[in-house]
Amino acid sequence: MRFAVLTQTQAHFAAIEACFQADGVVCSCFADTRALLRAARNDSYDLVLIDAKVFEREGDCLLSWRACHADHLMPVIVFGQFHDRERMLRAFDAGVSDVLVGAVEQNEMYVRTRRVLDALRAERPAPASLMVGPYTLCQRQGLVTLDGQPIYLTAREFAMAWLFFSTPGTYFSKRQLAARVWGDTVEFTERTIEQHIYKLRKKMGIGKNGPVRLHTMYTLGYRLDVDNARAEPCPFAPSPASLQYALPSRLAQTCDNF
């Protein structure tokens, strides 16, 4: 297994690494969320352990990015000192799996981490899906259908589509899109965002007069509008097998792995 550890304190990382070494867990240390999300483009992690000090500054960015990427729904555990119980509650409300308060204690760290991973395996949740107008989005497969016909999107295009379709009526600035889809608000260009919006509209057939529209508002950003509808959970998402007939051969095998 691979764990990502977000901390700027080397002693914390050394203690965590030693905690899981006997189980063959590979721990990688990152000083900030941006460094982790860059690494996550090529590597996958089973768990993220984040220092409370780092979480205070960058936790929202990490959790927002995770929510938009079906391939990276790894649990997050926060460890360290919290100033008050309200901040601990906010961490749970934001979507972390557990909180370990105080100095790193290896036995507690090991047991609590194992509980989180065991619970994740036991849950095996159904694929998250949405129905918005004529569109169905299946997060686990990263698939979009329009009136039952599949639309092929890249991972980032799907992450952007999921963000808009799961929150219709909400404006997102280019900087917010960069943080949630790319995980980076520093190294992005407005042109890159504009190009992805253009491709998303074109691939998904989103026009100005259809039931689903993706508006651009100067200074505010982008917003998805839906006529007489809202995002609803899909009662039964299309299975990968049902879509294979329309997939190129190089992708059909990939679907078997979900």
Task: Give me the number of domains the chain comprises.
Answer: 2
Same domain, 98 and 144: no
Same domain, 118 and 179: no
User: Which residue type sits at 200?
Assistant: L
Query: Quick one: the chain helix, strand, coil %, rounded to 5?
Result: 45, 20, 35
Residue ending a domain, choose from 123, 155, 179: 123
pLDDT in tens, 49-106: 999 999 988 888 888 888 777 655 789 999 998 888 888 898 898 889 999 998 888 9
Lowest-pLDDT choice from 135-144, 203-212, 222-231, 233-242 = 233-242
Cβ neighbourhood burial of 93 (10 Å; 0-12, 13-18, 19+) = exposed
Same domain, 31 and 49: yes
What is the predicted pLDDT for the residue at 160?
93
Same domain, 107 and 23: yes
Alpha helices in 30-187 (DSSP H): 33-39, 52-67, 85-94, 106-123, 155-166, 174-177
CA 14 to chain centre: 27
What is the predicted pLDDT for the residue at 186?
54
Banded pLDDT at 30 (limits 50, 70, 90):
very high
Instruction: Residue 244: give its domain's CATH number.
Output: 1.10.10.10
Pairing of strands 221-226, 232-233: unpaired
- In this predicted structure, the answer to whether residue 167 has a pLDDT above a threshold of 90 is no
What is the predicted pLDDT for the residue at 240?
38
Same domain, 119 and 134: no
Residue ending a domain, choose from 105, 123, 141: 123
Beta bridge partner(s), residue 27: 3
What is the predicted pLDDT for the residue at 74?
85
The mean per-residue pLDDT over the stretch 166-177 comes to: 84
Is pLDDT larger for residue 184 or for residue 83? 83
- In this predicted structure, the answer to whether residue 41 has a pLDDT above a threshold of 50 is yes
What is the predicted pLDDT for the residue at 72?
59
Judge whether 163 and 177 are in contact, CB under 8 Å. yes
The mean per-residue pLDDT over the stretch 222-244 comes to: 58
Judge whether 16 and 27 are in contact, CB under 8 Å. yes
- Measured from the Cβ of residue 253, the count of other Cβ atoms closer than 10 Å reads 10
- In this predicted structure, the answer to whether residue 235 has a pLDDT above a threshold of 60 is no
Residue ending a domain, choose from 95, 123, 151: 123
Same domain, 148 and 167: yes
Q: pTM for this one? A: 0.54
Q: For residue 161, give its domain range.
A: 129-255
